[in-house]
Structure 1
Amino acid sequence: MTAATHRRWIATFLAAKAAEQGAARNTQLAYERDLRDVQAYLERRGSGFADADRAMLEAYLTQLDAAGLAPATRARRLSAIKQLYRFAHEEGWRSDNPALQIKGPGKRITLPDTLGMAEVDALLAAAETHGKTAAERARNTCLMQLLYATGLRVSELVSLPASAVRGAPQMLLVRGKGNKERLVPLSRPAQAAITLWLGHRDAAQEIRKLESGTKPSAFLFPSHGAAGHMTRVRFFTLIKALAATAGLDPARITPHGMRHAFATHLLHNGADLRAIQTLLGHADIATTEIYTHILDDRLKRLVLDNHPLAKD
C-alpha cells in the first residue's frame, strides 16, 4: 500500500464526513493531522491502513501513552482510527475492522443534537416549496421524503437507481456499503413523492434523448456530472438551503442528522434496536447502540408508569 493510497483513504473518508455529517473545516483538519500521524507510524513499520492489524494499532496507541500525550489527545486519535476503519469496512475496502475491539481512554460515543418531529415536518414542507420549477420542487420533496422514510446514508440516497422505485414498491431494495443489500419499507408520503418525481424525471430524460440522442440515466436523481447522479456535496448544500427556507439553523441540519432522526423517532415509538440496525444497514450492533439512551429513557418511563410500587 503506497503513501498515495494512504492519502486517498484519508481524503475519501474526510470528504464523506464533510458531505454526510457537515464536519467543519477545522474538524476535518484535526482528523487529517491525526490520521497522517497514524499513516506515518504504519509506513515506518512497512505496513498501511489496508493490512494493519489490531496489535499494530494498539502498539501505536501505547507509543502515544509512552510519549506522554494527554488522555484526551489519545482518545481523539483512537476515535479517528475507529471512524476510518468503520468507514473502510462499510465501503468494502477491508473485510474486517481491526479497530472494533480496541479500548482506550475515549469518551462515550454520544448522539448529535437530534431533530424533533416539528423540525422534520418543517424541512419536509420546505422541500415542497423550494425550487424554481415544479420539477425541482418534486425532486426536493422526493429526496427529503425518502431520506426521512428510510434513514438512507446520503451516498445511498443520491445514487439510487430509478429501477429500484418503479412499479410503486412498498419496499426499497438498497445496495449499501460493502455492496450489501437490505430492504427498507417506504411510507405512503415517500411513495407519493416518488411517483410525482418520476413523472418529471422521465419526461426530462425523454426530451434529452430526443434533443441530443443521449441515453437515459439509470439514476433516480440524474446529473450531468462525472458521477452521473447528484453528488453528496450537492445534496449537503441543498439541505442547508431547505433549513433556511424552513426557518431552522442551517448549522444544525445535515443529511446524517436526518438519518439520526429516522432512528431516534422509530425508537421513541417502540421499534426494536435490532430492527433499527437492519434498517440503517449497520454491520455491527455496537454502531447502533449509540441510541440505547433512548431505550433507557423509555424503559424508565415504562417502570414508573406501570410498576405497582411506583404508583401512589
Structure 2
Amino acid sequence: MEEDIHDFIHYCQVEKGLSDNTLRSYNRDLTQYIKFLTAQNIKEVSEIDRTHILQYLYELKDSGRSASTLARNISSLRAFHQFLLREQRSTKDPSELIEIPRGEKKLPDILTPKEVEKLLEAADGVNSFDRRNKAMLELMYATGLRVSELCSLEKGDIHLQMGFVHCTGKGSKERIVPLGKIAGEAIERYIHKARPQLMKNRKHDILFVNHLGTGLSRQGFWKILKKSAVKAGLGKKLTPHTLRHSFATHLLENGADLRAVQEMLGHSDISTTQIYTHVSTHKLKDVYHHYHPRA
C-alpha cells in the first residue's frame, strides 16, 4: 500500500499541480492511515471497507484531534480512494459516504491599522537586514501574499513602475496583485541598497535572501515577524497569516468589493473569502454595543 501512496502523491504533483504543503499533508495523513490498517491486518487496498475508515477516524477523535484535523484527514482519504478507483486498483470507494464534520469556523486573528503601523515602524533601520525585513513586512501587508508565495518571489515578479506583483499560489495558479507606493519604495531600497550585500556574490533571482545569500525560508520570515512584534510592543501572538488576514479585513472595512479581495487573495472559492465579512460584521457589532445607548 506504500507504493499506492507514492503513486498517488506523484499523480497529485505532476497531474494536478498541487502545492508542496498539500502534498506533505496528504503524505502524512495517508502514511498514518496505512499504519493503522496494517495494525488491523489489512494488506491490500481491496480489503478496506467503510468500517475500517470509521474505526480510524474514531481513533483520531479519541486521541484528541480537532474537527478540522478530522475533516482534513477525510479529504485526504477521499482523494486517495478516488485515485485508486480511477486507476482500477480498487473496485469501490469506501470513503464515499463518510461525512466531513462541520466545525465552527474560527474568526482569523487580525491587527488593527494602528497595530500594523507600529509593527512596520518597528522594522525601520538602515542596515541590510533591517531593509530586507521592512520590505518583506510592507509587501506582506500591502498584498496579502501567503508566506510561501512571498519566499518564492523572484526579482522579475516585482514590477515597481507599474505597481504590481506577479505571484504563483496554490495549485500553481498565477495572479497579479496591486502594489502600493510605500511598499514599493521599501522594496526598491532593499533591492538597490541591501540585497547586493546579502547575496555574497551568489547568482540567482530569488528576491528575499538570508545571511548566506540563499532564499529565505518560511521559518526565517516567521522569526523576523515575531522579533518585530516584540520590538513593536504588540501583545499578540502573530503568524505570517495574521498580516494576510489584516490585509483582507482592512480592505473590506474600507469598502472594497468582495470579489476583488477574493482575486487578490487567490481564493478559488468566494466562500473562503467571506470569513472576512464576518470579521467586519463582528467589529460593527462591537461599535454598536459600545456606543448605542440602548444596546
Normalising to structure 1: TM-score of the pair?
0.65
Q: 1:154 to 1:67 in 2, by over 3 A?
A: closer
The alignment status of 1:218 with 2:201, answered yes or no, reads no
Shift of 1:67: 7.9
Indicate if the aligned counterparts of 2:67 and 2:103 stay in contact, CA closer than 8 A: yes
* Whole-angstrom CA distance in 1 between matches of 2:162 and 2:31: 45
Alignment counterpart, residue 255 of structure 1, candidates 228, 240, 247: 240
2:222 to 236, 243, 246: 236
Does the C-alpha gap of structure 1 residues 2 and 173 become closer, same or farther in structure 2, counting only changes over 3 Å?
Answer: same
Distance in 2, Cα, partners of 1:60 & 1:183:
45
Aligned partners of 2:107 and 2:278 also within 8 Å: no
| 2:117 counterpart residue number | 121
Aligned to 2:257: 272
Contact between 1:127 and 1:242, CA under 8 Å: does it hold in 2? yes
Counterpart contact for 2:198–2:209, Cα < 8 Å: no
**Which ranges of structure 1 fall in alignment gaps of 5 or more residues?**
18-31, 48-55, 89-98, 302-312
Moved more, 120-129 or 109-118: 109-118
Equivalent residues in 2 for 1:172-211 (5 A)?
Answer: 172-201=165-194, 203-204=196-197, 208-209=200-201
Residue 200 (structure 1) shift: 1.8
Q: Structure 1 pair 123/66, CA: closer, same or farther in 2 (3 Å)?
A: closer
Equivalent in 273, 278, 289 of residue 274 of structure 2: 289
Higher Rg of the two aligned structures = 2
SS at match of 2:124: helix
| 2:60–2:70 Cα contact (<8 Å) kept | no
Q: Any conservation in 2 of the 1:61–1:78 contact (CA below 8 Å)? A: no
Assess, with a 3 A threshold, how the Cα gap between structure 1 residues 272 and 67 changes in structure 2: closer, same or farther. same
Q: Distance in 1 between matches of 2:74 and 2:170?
A: 16
Letter matched to residue 70 of structure 2? L
Per the TM alignment, residue 269 of structure 1 is displaced from its structure 2 partner at its CA by 1.1
Q: 1:4 to 1:200 in 2, by over 3 A?
A: farther
Partner of 1:26: none
Structure 1: distance between partners of 2:281 and 2:30: 34
Supply the distance in 2 between the matched residues of 1:84 and 1:59 (Cα, whole angstroms): 17
Deviation at 1:122, TM superposition (A): 0.8
Contact 1:173–1:183 (8 Å) recurs in 2: yes
Counterpart Cα distance in 1 of 2:60 and 2:218: 39
The RMSD of aligned alpha carbons is: 4.4
Q: Following TM superposition, by how much is the alpha carbon of 1:291 offset from its aligned partner in structure 2, in angstroms? A: 2.0
Change (3 A) 1:103 1:254: same
How do 1:41-52 residues align onto structure 2 when only pairs under 5 Å count? 44=42, 46=44
Runs of 5+ in structure 2 lacking a partner?
13-19, 81-94, 287-295
Which TM-score applies when normalising by structure 2? Answer: 0.69
**Number of aligned positions between the proteins:** 257
Shift of 1:124: 0.4
The amino acid of 1:79's aligned partner reads A
Counterpart selection for 1:109 from 99, 105, 109: 105
Opposite residue 165 of structure 2, the aligned amino acid is: L
How high is the sequence identity, in percent, across the aligned residues?
A: 35
Letter in 1 for 2:173: K
8 Å Cα contact 2:123/2:130 also seen in 1:
yes
